[in-house]
Amino acid sequence: MQPVTRVSGTAYPWGAKNIDTDVIIPAHWLKTITRAGLGRGAFETVRAQPGNVFDDPRYAGSPILIAGDNFGCGSSREHAAWALADMGIRAVIAPSFSDIFSGNAFKNGIVPVVLPQDAVDRLLAVAEAQPIVVDLETMTVTTPFQDRFAFELDPFRRRCLMEGLDEIGMTLAEDTAISNFEAAVRDHRPWIENRSGYASIAVEGAGRT
Amino acid sequence: MAFRPQTLYEKIWAAHVVERRDDGTCLIYIDRHLVHEVTSPQAFEGLRANGRRVRRPELTLAVPDHNLPTTPRLDAQGRPIPIADPESAQQLDALRRNTAEFGIDYIDATAAEQGIVHVVGPELGFTLPGTTLVCGDSHTSTHGALGALAFGIGTSEVEHVLATQTLLLSPSRTMEVRVDGTLGFGVSPKDVILAIMGRVGAAGGTGHVFEYTGEVVRAMSVEGRMTLANMSIEGGARAGLVAPDDTTFAYLKGRPMAPAGEAWDRAVAWWRTLATDPGARYDKSVRLDASEIAPALTWGTSPEDVVPITGTVPEPDSFADPAKRAAARASLTYMGLAPGTAMQDVPIQHVFIGSCTNSRIEDLRAAAAVANGRRVADGVHAMVVPGSGLVKRQAEAEGLDRIFAAAGFDWREPGCSMCLAMNPDKVPAGERCASTSNRNFVGRQGPGARTHLLSPAMAAAAAVTGRLADVRDLMGDRQ
Ligand code: SF4
């Protein structure tokens, strides 16, 4: 993952509430088996409407999206984060995010910035004409008009973003702790590992006999 | 250490902590992992790119569901029928190849056990109380009905679980959703969860895990509880739990992948300790009384847009929140509805009975009871898609397929189908569907499709009347 420390530039001043992942990337784009190229399908239903913010030349290629409450609700599809990343979006600012979307955003180098509604309203107004800056060093969003809004991020996730860390590699380094836990599970909850009934089910247990 | 009363959520969490970090995030062990074709290819691709293996393949089970056409899968000679859409075929093929390469159990599209991943898990006994269970699908919350801490994850997390059998998580807050009293005539679990959505709102549960409690939940079957837990995510909660009890154990006993013999007894003894202790605190609570819950449905494009069937389309200006007013106006334009219209006067063209919310045997029985001896109205296409091959087989053994066929319903092969319109089952633009699924989002059932979420019995009532109808009127004349 590419490290992110600062995202600055124009922002799509959208502000829409309850934007679900079907709006971010409709289901028919989910048939792909790679992560690339989903930007073309991003916000397809919104872009079908004349005068939409995404096709407004003033905001073309903006690295920031400003949205309303509950952004990214709905399905768990990480394709939503891939689509935003493919459009060049590196930060989304909203009063709240769905839990799953915000996890997916972090893992793809997109900063989900939570700010109160009045700060979001102010940024929506500013972004009509001016760029804004999301800074992970100072944990603030600033504008050319001296606005300065502080936000918070989970310290671990912040570090992963800023250093571009590979979370799987980090967890694999905890192998001993995981193995010890598994040994305890074998003692205390043996039924977890000894799943019964393979024989009666038409599963193709390809790797095992 | 002094005894501190704990919630069901806290107990399951505590039993799965591999490591706790200073900031409170924990490495959580994952007991069960379900995989389907849409959200897994990039995870397997990631494993391959980094030369990683699957840590515990036997804790994962894969089954295709989202993309599969619901038309027959085998020809007259018993040979698999190729899938016409090349992209769907490629994704299904990738699942087969990836599970073979990494040694993961795989239920093929042509197997009797194939079905929607959230129907298959509980029905095979793969889902167990007190486990952590994840899947790259937000409706993984369904499995919480059995007392599993179950939630949807993104594809990077799928890859993380495959490689490490763990996830790095921060604990959620807890929210008790209590429904007391006794449900009225014609009121189903779907009506209960719709009422809860109307009360809690689409973002009301964000950051929380629901625990469903109260007399109504205790009296409900495991399948009904799954309908509740399924839609937890529609209220913003990532997971929804029901404490395991005798109803749960009776449901699970003897299922093919459930523990048996001595292991079963040991498991039940532990499962009995999981219920929330008296005096344990939830971060939030909401309480509904069953007497306030009527057969209900949605009018808009958010699952919180709920109204009783006896109600009318709301006036957008009646909402206090300006953002909600704007959203309601946009919803009504999309839905082609005028404020003040009686819900029962709204004609429909499609009916979809299916999805991981309502495609189990009890759902099909409820719909068949209304369809029995009636006819699907002219101009309506009504589709019944069982949640799995085993549900389908059971329904056929009970003769439900013949009831549906005689009434003019279309009886299909199992899968997600018209719930998300990834396969050929779509609602055409501008047409209206009475659907037992869980999402009424813009374009969810096809571009421009208009969705009303409701129960299986209400969906059958809509099919036979050609409009949104109060199922109680149709049940009344049977008494
Ligand atoms: S039935 Fe619908 S909600 Fe359930 S898993 Fe399939 S697509 Fe998702």
Beta strands in A77-191 (DSSP E): 91-94, 111-114, 132-135, 140-142, 148-150
Which residue in chain A is spatially nearest to B328 when comparing CA positions? Answer: A17
- Residues B127, B148 contacting (CB under 8 angstroms): yes
CA–centroid distance, residue B416 to ligand 1 (Å): 5
- Tens of pLDDT along A71-87? 999 888 999 999 999 99
Contact residues for B72 (Cβ-Cβ < 8 A; gap 6+): B81, B413
Query: What integer pLDDT is reported at residue B469 of this predicted model?
Result: 98
Query: What integer pLDDT is reported at residue A196 of this predicted model?
Result: 59
Q: How many other C-beta atoms can be found within 10 angstroms of the C-beta atom of residue B229?
A: 33
Evaluate whether ipTM surpasses 0.90.
Answer: yes
pLDDT at B477 > cutoff 70? no
Beta strands in B156-232 (DSSP E): 166-169, 173-180, 208-213
Comparing CB atoms, the residue among B125, B154, B267 nearest residue A104 is B154
- Residues A3, A161 contacting (CB under 8 angstroms): yes
Q: What's the pTM value of the predicted model, to 2 decimals?
A: 0.93
Q: CB within 6 Å of ligand 1 — which residues?
A: B 65-66, 116, 118, 137, 139, 355-356, 416, 419-420, 437-438
For residue B70, give the amino acid letter: T
Q: What is the mean pLDDT of residues B168-190?
A: 97
Pull the structure tokens for residue B276. Answer: 């929330």
How far is residue A76's CA from residue A20's CA, in Å, rounded to a whole number?
10
Q: How confident is the model at residue A89 (pLDDT cuts 50, 70, 90)?
A: very high
Pull the structure tokens for residue A109. Answer: 């180098």
Instruction: Using a pLDDT cut of 70, give the percent of chain B over it.
Output: 99
Q: How confident is the model at residue B272 (pLDDT cuts 50, 70, 90)?
A: very high
Q: How confident is the model at residue B423 (pLDDT cuts 50, 70, 90)?
A: confident
Residue appearing with tokens 């972090």: A106
* Chain A contact for B80 (CB, 8 A cutoff): no
Q: How confident is the model at residue A209 (pLDDT cuts 50, 70, 90)?
A: very low
Residue appearing with tokens 């590196």: A90
For residue B233, give the amino acid letter: I
Q: What is the mean pLDDT of residues B36-53?
A: 96
* Chain A contact for B124 (CB, 8 A cutoff): yes
Q: How confident is the model at residue B23 (pLDDT cuts 50, 70, 90)?
A: confident
Instruction: Using a pLDDT cut of 90, give the percent of chain A over it.
Output: 82
How far is residue B65's CA from residue B47's CA, in Å, rounded to a whole number?
23
Contact call for A108 and B156, based on CB within 8 A: yes
- Tens of pLDDT along B90-122? 999 999 999 999 999 999 999 999 999 999 999
Comparing CB atoms, the residue among A27, A99, A177 nearest residue B421 is A27
A-contacting residues of B 233-292, CB under 8 Å? 233, 236, 238, 255-260, 263-264, 266-267, 270
- Residues B361, B223 contacting (CB under 8 angstroms): yes
Query: What integer pLDDT is reported at residue B422 of this predicted model?
Result: 85
Query: What integer pLDDT is reported at residue A54 of this predicted model?
Result: 97
With contacts defined as CB-CB under 8 Å, which chain A residues touch B415?
Answer: none
Q: What is the mean pLDDT of residues B189-207?
A: 96
With contacts defined as CB-CB under 8 Å, which chain B residues touch A192?
Answer: 31, 59, 128, 131
Nearest-atom index, ligand 1, CA of B419 = 2
Q: What is the mean pLDDT of residues A47-60?
A: 96
- Tens of pLDDT along B208-217? 999 999 999 9
With contacts defined as CB-CB under 8 Å, which chain A residues touch B140?
Answer: 76
How far is residue A99's CA from residue B208's CA, in Å, rounded to a whole number?
9
Contact call for B206 and A191, based on CB within 8 A: no
CA–centroid distance, residue B139 to ligand 1 (Å): 7
For atom 4 of ligand 1, the residue with the nearest CA is B356
pLDDT at B1 > cutoff 60? no
